[in-house]
């Protein structure tokens, strides 16, 4: 079932979400919620969705970056972003156990701040530990765009939005981004806006 995605200003987006107990994860209620989150993310469409975005203050996120979402990017842009398809998976109680430096800066958007985007600096690679939908312990080493998605969704579970990390001068509607900035690198965008 497709659920309503709450928008910026809703209190649930600004408070840390509750961790789930092992026994709770396999209940019919949580399994149904995960299925609904998948439907909602795919309907939006988006590459990630955290439970607070559908009004549930729980540490659950779903991620899936389909190849069809890459069509508007050039091969060079895909390489620069380190963007490759990521199969659907569920993260419960995730935590970042290590991050790399240097960071990379790219435009991010959010289903809970619909129609906008801004440049956000994130670690290029991360290691994340979490439970899957079967309450099994998992660990993933991610880089490029996948690492960015993980950091974005884990931020949601901690009550943070990308606007807390963005370069405020680069905030734009997605329509204007496509019109003026689509082929510009993040460095060019910053330079033309008078940033460093």
Q: Is residue 141 flagged as an active site residue?
A: no
> Which pLDDT value is given to residue 98?
97
Domain ranges of the chain: 11-192
> Which pLDDT value is given to residue 196?
55
> Which pLDDT value is given to residue 194?
75
For residue 18, the cross-strand partners are 58
Tell me which residue of 64, 62, 50 sits closest to 10, measured CA to CA.
50
Q: Which of 64, 67, 129, 153 is catalytic?
A: 153
pLDDT under 50: residue ranges of the chain: none
**What CA–CA distance (Å, rounded) separates 92 from 62?**
9
Question: How does strand 86-99 pair with strand 60-65?
Answer: antiparallel
What is the CATH superfamily name and number for domain 11-192? Answer: Peptide deformylase (3.90.45.10)
Predicted TM-score of the model (pTM): 0.95
pLDDT (tens digit per residue) in 103-136: 999 999 999 999 999 999 999 999 999 999 999 9
> Which pLDDT value is given to residue 195?
58
CA atoms within 13 A on the CB side of 174: 9
């Amino acid at each position: 079932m497709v659920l309503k995605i709450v928008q910026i200003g809703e209190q649930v987006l600004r408070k840390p979400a509750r961790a789930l107990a092992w026994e709770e994860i396999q209940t019919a209620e949580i399994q149904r919620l995960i299925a609904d989150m998948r439907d909602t993310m795919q309907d939006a469409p988006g590459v990630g969705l955290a439970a607070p975005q559908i009004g549930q203050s729980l540490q659950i996120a779903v991620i899936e970056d389909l190849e069809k979402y890459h069509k508007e990017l050039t091969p060079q842009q895909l390489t620069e972003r380190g963007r490759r398809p990521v199969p659907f998976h569920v993260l419960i109680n995730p935590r970042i156990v290590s991050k790399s430096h240097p960071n990379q800066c790219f435009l991010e958007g959010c289903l809970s701040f619909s129609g906008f985007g801004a440049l956000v600096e994130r670690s290029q690679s991360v290691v994340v530990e979490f439970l899957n939908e079967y309450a099994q312990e998992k660990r993933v080493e991610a880089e490029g765009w996948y690492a960015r998605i993980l950091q974005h969704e884990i931020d949601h579970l901690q009550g943070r939005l990308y606007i807390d990390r963005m370069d405020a001068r680069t905030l734009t509607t997605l329509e204007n981004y496509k019109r003026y900035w689509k082929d510009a690198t993040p460095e060019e965008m910053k330079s033309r806006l008078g940033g460093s």
